[in-house]
Amino acid sequence: MTVLAPVNELLQEMADSLDTLALLQQRELNAIVDRQHADVNAITEAKEKALARVNQLDQQLAEHPDKEQLKDDPNLAEAVAAIKSTLSNVQHQSQVNEQVVQSTLNSIDQLKQTILQSARKDSLTYDSKGKIR
């Protein structure tokens, strides 16, 4: 038989996991801005693990036999409100990171196009009369 952790312990672990996720997102943003691409990959893996843990804890809380305490106990209700606030901040930071990544990719694509256009100009050849082929 599986022993269930108390609701307050699950809530604390959820809060800690979301704090970890928020820190990872900030590290990810810094790595993107600083063009530390190898770090971005490692941070993304850590974020995926943290997010999986948050989802697991959310599922455990949803199925917990004492989940009504989350509404009835004022201290737990306050903790839930704090967790929801942190979650909102994490979601907002995720959107910001996504925009930065998209902007970076657009800049890389523009640079690639500029390099390709420049290479084409350099590869022009001329015939014996001096005309471009």
Asked whether the beta carbons of 19 and 93 are under 8 A apart, the reply is: no
Domain ranges (residues) in the chain: 7-122
In percent, the amount of the chain with pLDDT more than 70 equals 89
Tens of pLDDT, residue by residue over 14-29, are 999 999 999 999 999 9
74 and 15 Cβ atoms separated by less than 8 Å: no
pTM for the model stands at 0.78
88 vs 129, more confident:
88
Q: Give the amino acid at 28.
A: E
pLDDT, tens only, 94-105: 999 999 989 988
**Cα Rg of the chain (Å, integer):** 25
Instruction: Pick the closest to residue 11 from 88, 73, 90 (CA basis).
Output: 73
